A and B are shown apart, each in its own frame.
Chain A
């Protein structure tokens, strides 16, 4: 009996490691930018290309920055959640149209609704790189001082919104 105890113990440990490994999502990488100042940007607006939207304009309030594109499937999936959030008025969501065609982006918003007060255009994907974006959609919660407080990788869901993002937003708004 005793001679089986050690191999059995090792087996249990290995199974434990593998079981934890199976629950991890390799696509969700912790962002080193959480807790750091949000990278500055100054970009043309989607609806009025002559106008510029700058991250400095948004200092002093809590806001969400949502990277999306008309070519992105996950963006379609999270879109109703964004629309719902925009209607509630809890927090403004600024859009970042990532590596997209202007006309297609405009059509997409006309068709599915526009949750954003302003959409910035990141045509080259440079701002995306500064924010560490590696797959749209990605959403950042940015506080009054312009510091990134949370990063959502992949589509937003109602449960993430209620469980994580809205409590965080309320806390940051009261600071």
Chain B
């Protein structure tokens, strides 16, 4: 009787032990989707990637991308598909073109401006320090002051 009870108790746990099912049937498709989706911006929650977002549109777009991957389209074709519809905004890495020149070059321009400013400031300070010349009288006074310091008990 007790054996029967043990068996009855074990059966549901065996059923529950089934492995969690992957979200999509094809793991290769999922891997490519994941790679692409982190490069793409969700248009609804604009600071999330397509991979992170739970917005319905992001789900739809993941479905589209998944289908395009299954059709063996290249990454470039898939990205072109989305850029044609939503513009460069879907890309987390905007392409280099006339309208994005300032975006790409701006940080370097600021760096150059800062470095130039620093060089000028340092040179000016050095000149100020070097320009101080002492007369003989001042020299003697300096020597006197310094010797006072060393002769102090």
Contact = CB atoms under 8 A, between A and B. Distances in A.
Interface of A: 26-27, 29-33, 99, 124-126, 128-132, 134-135
A135 B64 contact: no
- Highest count of chain A CB atoms <10 Å: which of B44, B85, B87: B85
Contacts of B64: 126, 129
A131 B85 contact: yes
Contacts of A129: 60-61, 64, 85
Interface string B36-56: 000000011010000000001
Given A129-B60, A129-B64, A134-B57, A32 B87 contact: yes
Interface residues of B, number: 14
A125 B57 contact: yes
A contact face: mostly helix, strand, loop, or mixed = loop
Closest 8 A-B residue pairs measured CB to CB?
A134-B43, A132-B85, A32-B87, A125-B60, A29-B89, A132-B86, A134-B57, A29-B87
B144 to A, nearest CB: 37
A124 B67 CA distance: 14
Given A125-B60, A129-B61, A129-B64, A32 B46 contact: no
- Highest count of chain B CB atoms <10 Å: which of A99, A124, A128, A134: A134
Interface string B55-70: 0110011001000000
A151 to B, nearest CB: 11
Nearest to A131: B85
B contact face: mostly helix, strand, loop, or mixed = helix
24 contacts: A26-B46, A27-B46, A29-B43, A29-B87, A29-B89, A30-B87, A31-B87, A32-B85, A32-B87, A99-B56, A125-B57, A126-B60, A126-B64, A128-B60, A129-B61, A129-B64, A129-B85, A131-B85, A132-B85, A132-B87, A134-B44, A134-B57, A134-B86, A135-B43
Contacts of B89: 29
B44 A29 contact: no
